[in-house]
Structure 1
Amino acid sequence: MIHKLVKDPGLPVPNPTKSYWQTPGNERLLNIQSLHLHEKRDVVILGSGITGCSVSHWLLKGSDSLTISLMDAREICSGATGRNGGRINAPAIQNYAKYRQIFGHHTAVAIVKFELAHFDALRSVVDEIGPALVHTSEIRQVSAIATAFSQQKVEELRQMLVDFEQALPEYKGVWRIADEEEIVQKYNIKNAKGAVIGKAGAVWPYRMVTGIFEALLEQYQDRYALEANTPALGIYRNSTSEYAYSVVTARGIIQTKHVVHCTEGHTAHLLPMLRGILVPRRGQMTVQNPGSAFPQRGDCSWNFYLDNMDYATQNPSTGELFLGGGDVVGYGPALGNPSDAEEAVSALSHLGGLLPAAFGHETWGTELPGKPRVKASWTGILCNSLDKVPLVGMLPQEALDRPAGSRDSGEWISAGYGGYGMVNAFLCGKAVAMMMLGKDDSYWLPNEYRLTTTRLHSLYHKLGQVVASEERHLKALL
């Protein structure tokens, strides 16, 4: 197992499972490529998910002259963002408890506020593009229902809420505990013992991100290009050149001043010094047809706390349920797995039976003729960091096996969201862009996210300690 955690994650596989979010694909962006690869660019961004989209947006908006090419090994937004749960959900009270235990009160507060800022940040950009994207992306605020199936879990959540409101009194009343009677009668989860009710966001992630890319191409077509199916095969630095980096592809070489790594679970392929520090993890998703009696709850997002956490949203138009999770305790074979070409059979089996079991057969009803419960299923690759928070900023020499650059011409990273990219990636991408532009006003970025030499030394020390013990490395990554 330990070898799997420190091995090269490679490039994204060429034959991934088919994500329902990406059906149909965005016709304008499918296999989009320049007629000839640009020979020189100010910036090359690797990865076309929400992070690469964010870095593009903020760099183009913040500069009148930067030329940018964004490259992806596969189709645009075909990776983690185009395969996720469709939720913009920061489990605030749970994450405050988690990060307070790891980093202390002040950092926990900073991280929670940062995550909670993401729905408004994303909604603002979508609104700016226009009502058509608001409609097609289905971006919306929803009620977040974190459901517990044991009284012990209810009491844990109750104490977390008390601690959370003491730490962040400005959010008092936003989240509350629903008892068993309310969760059964009002929310129809017949087998639950209670829940935390709060707020979250939901979206069709592929449509939102590809819609933003379309808007960027339209506005900045003279200095912005998307290069689908163009994997970066190598990166080399020649510090004597103005365009110090050579990014090698099968279509040619781009010389550039900056390289930005936005490839999440595959980041350590081109950054081998980060293997074991950034570790891929495969997640399972499904789309399910609701039973005959199931109500339309497109205004809800659910977490189900069983052995691990499962999560769901309902499409407000079709009623289809998007359900993910199903991880075995400790993630088992999912951790260290960089391939989304296969399904996780045990997770898929669990997810296929979860909804009737959680809601109860009275709420679920019967299966509808001609509509199988599991309509579609696929996997996607997440990324866990060894110290449990993203790596954001310029890559120092300690992170590289090639000469490091500088703020004028360097390599940058934003990766390691631990499955919570929708409440981290967009503003992490903005922070990287601001740093690159020399406008580092990202005071809102939690300090623990910043990639510093001191942090890297700590990560390498931790990696050296735990790599000899498979169990300790696993616990450090969970």
Structure 2
Amino acid sequence: MDERAQIPVSLPRANPTVSYWQDPPDALADYCSTPDLPSTADTIIIGSGITGAAVAWNLLQGPNPGSILMLEARQACSGATGRNGGHTKAASYRTFPHHVQSHGLPTAKQIARLELRNIQAVHAFARAHAIACDLNPCDTLDVIYDPAQWDQAVAAVAAMRDAFPGGGGGQPEPEGEGEYELYSAEEVRARFHEEKVQGGVGYFAGSLSAYKFGVGVLRLCVERGLNLQTGTAVTGLSKTEDGGGLWEVKTARGTVRAKRVVLATNGYTAGIWKRFQGVVVPLRGQVTAQRPGRGMPGKGCLERTYSFIYEKGYEYMVSRPEGSRFAGDIVMGGGLVRAPDDGLMEFGTTDDSTVNEEISEYLRETTGRYFGPDWGEDDPEGRVRSEWTGIMGFSPDGFPLVGEVPGEQGLWASCSFQGHGMVLCWMCARALVEMMEGGDGEDLREWFPDAFRITEARLAQRFQGRLDAIPKTDE
């Protein structure tokens, strides 16, 4: 893993696989607010995914946002946001016991609360601003196959319920963090027929087109003065030599100076600022969109989303809701450990121009296997409509990196979301802007975990692999 973590991180590839969500691309995809780059800006945001869009939006809500320039190497929202499965699902119970052990109960509760609030905030923003992103709030079910993981899940749910008790008896009303429902193996097998099923965990989640949501937020920002420049890769970042405290951002289209720079670049962050090499490690993820089998109820428009959890990994599954384009399509992502060496060679790569054939073969077969006879015959046009890859970012301790880069005044970052950006990015961006605007006080610390902040100690950690896929134990 050390060798994979030290592979120099590149800029985004010019010819990525075509994401299901970006076909066809939004009208904003190749947008440039002005024909030429400005020579200066107050703030430069590098990256146009959900983090960059949320940072821009929060800055624009301030009384004096100044000039904001956003630089995107490829099309707008063409990175991880525009390439993920659109699952707004926290699964906080799976990491809660480890967070309690490693950081204490208050921090563990902060993290779980932030994840749920992030989902709620994204859903609420989409509704409030009428962003047509196929928003579908719904319950989810984790189907668990491994006996050890089932035992851990039962214990973790109990811990969450204890930490977030329900209302009544003078207690505050519940806010949802501890609301989980356990299903027996027999109950889960009624839907998924494999005998190895141990049980299921149900809770609130949802789905949306993260691409449509991301470009929707960008459009709102452009309307409010954001200068968006797509097709403008950053090739260099440095402090000015004249001692003026400005940053120089170099591109093939020219150089721009700014008081502050925000790295909203997730898995590509070390390609811009080398100090993150081995700290934010890219990992290529893979997704497939499949036409529903002829036997699927409701033409494939399922009431829930799902995850399928086994000894070393998992898949997640989202069906496209009624009224959406290709309603009923099954979007299935994951399968990392089905590649040789548990997917080792997917770490350290930024090549989203191709797919891993072993993972591809596995994901294509998942729906027929999980649904069994309920799947029925494949659609006459074929099971697979689309498959693609995207680049995620992972840190040594499994937490995002948010804040000002130590020793680099004016250089800020919010990145490394461990493949869970849809339940972390929005609130992390909000916290980052509060820090940037001088609001880093007790109010922020009440809800934003210190464990997410960039520190020298975190930048010095050694990357040993993905920490989120397997529930943590006390061992």
Same fold (TM > 0.5): yes
Residue identity in the other structure for 1:308: G
For residues 152 and 433 of structure 2, the distance between their equivalents in structure 1, rounded to whole angstroms, comes to 39
Report whether the alignment pairs 1:184 with 2:189: yes
Q: C-alpha displacement at 1:342, in angstroms?
A: 1.2
Matched residue, 1:200: 205
Q: Distance in 2 between matches of 1:155 and 1:323?
A: 26
Q: Contact (CA 8 Å) 1:39, 1:253: kept in 2 or not?
A: yes
TM-score by length of 1: 0.89
Given that 2:266 and 2:393 are in contact with CA atoms closer than 8 Å, whether structure 1 keeps it comes out as: yes
* Equivalence for 1:57: 57
Q: Are 1:305 and 2:315 an aligned pair? A: no
Partner Cα distance (1:17, 1:32) in 2 = 23
Deviations 1:234-283 (A, max 9, x none): 11212756571111111111111110001011101121122111100000
Higher relative helix content? 1
How far apart in 1 are the matches of 2:11 and 2:377?
Answer: 43
Give the letter aligned to residue 423 of structure 2: V
CA displacement at 1:181 relative to structure 2:
2.6
Cα distance in 2 for partners of 1:23, 1:414 equals 28
Counterpart amino acid of residue 415 in structure 2: A
Deviation of 1:151 after TM superposition, in Å, equals 4.3
Sequence identity, in percent?
Answer: 30
**What is the match of residue 168 of structure 1?**
164
Report SS of the residue matched to 1:236.
Answer: strand
Equivalent residues in 2 for 1:7-156, closer than 5 Å: 7-130=7-130, 133=131, 136-156=132-152
Deviations 1:188-242 (A, max 9, x none): 2222332001110211010011011112212x13xx2100010111112127565
Instruction: Give the TM-score normalised by structure 2.
Output: 0.89
Q: CA deviation at 1:436?
A: 1.0
SS in 2 for 1:88: coil
1:33/1:228 contact within 8 Å kept: no
Match of 1:157 among 144, 153, 160: 153
Match of 1:276, SS?
Answer: coil
Q: Residue 95 of structure 1: CA displacement?
A: 2.2
Give the whole-Å Cα distance in 2 for the aligned partners of 1:183 and 1:190.
8
Distance 2:11 2:177 in 1: 45
CA deviation digits over 1:19-70, x for unaligned, max 9? 0011111113424352111111100000011100110000001233411010
3-state DSSP of counterpart to 2:365: helix
Residue 170 of structure 2 corresponds to none
Task: Write the mapping of 1:340-359 to structure 2, written as runs, cut at 5 A.
Answer: 340-359=352-371
Equivalent AA in structure 1 for residue 138 of structure 2:
V
Describe the SS at the equivalent of 2:234: coil
Equivalent position of 1:417 in the other structure: 417
Aligned to 1:364: 375
CA distance in 1, matches of 2:83, 2:231: 17
Go from structure 1 to structure 2 and tell me whether the alpha carbon gap of 1:173 and 1:275 turns closer, same or farther (over 3 Å shift): closer
Task: Please point out which of 368, 371, 374 is paired with 2:384.
Answer: 374
Matched letter for residue 319 of structure 1: G
| Partner SS, residue 3 of structure 2 | helix
In structure 2, how many angstroms separate the alpha carbons of the residues matched to 1:55 and 1:172? 26
Matches within 5 A, 1:238-387: 238=240, 240=242, 244-296=246-298, 297-306=301-310, 307-317=312-322, 318-328=327-337, 330-361=342-373, 363-370=374-381, 372-387=382-397
For 1:216, the aligned partner's letter is: C
The whole-number CA distance in structure 2 between the counterparts of 1:80 and 1:88 is 14
Q: 1:447 to 1:230 in 2, by over 3 A?
A: same
Q: Structure 2: give runs of 5+ residues left out of the alignment.
A: 166-173, 470-475
Alignment correspondent of 2:168? none
Per-residue Cα deviation, 1:304-330 (whole angstroms, up to 9, x for no partner): 012411001000131001100011174
2:380 is paired with a residue whose SS is coil
Residue pair 1:386, 1:477 contacting (<8 A) in 2 also: no
Residue aligned with 1:324, SS? strand
Query: Structure 1 CA distance, aligned partners of 2:3 and 2:145?
Result: 36
How does 1:392-471 map onto structure 2 within 5 Å? 392-397=402-407, 404-405=408-409, 410-440=410-440, 441-443=443-445, 444-453=447-456, 455-456=457-458, 459-460=459-460, 462-463=461-462
- The CA distance in 2 between the partners of 1:237 and 1:178, in whole Å, is 56
> What is the alpha-carbon distance in structure 1 between the residues aligned to residue 63 and residue 290 of structure 2?
44
The answer to whether the 8 Å contact 1:385/1:477 transfers is no
Give SS of 1:87's match. coil
* Aligned-pair CA distance for 1:165: 1.0
**Structure 2 match to 1:470:** none
In the alignment, is the contact (CA less than 8 A) between 1:285 and 1:377 conserved in 2?
yes
C-alpha separation in 2, matches of 1:375 and 1:114: 35
Aligned-pair distance for 1:383?
0.7
* Change in 2 beyond 3 A, CA 1:236/1:429: same
Retained in 2: the 8 A contact 1:246–1:255?
yes
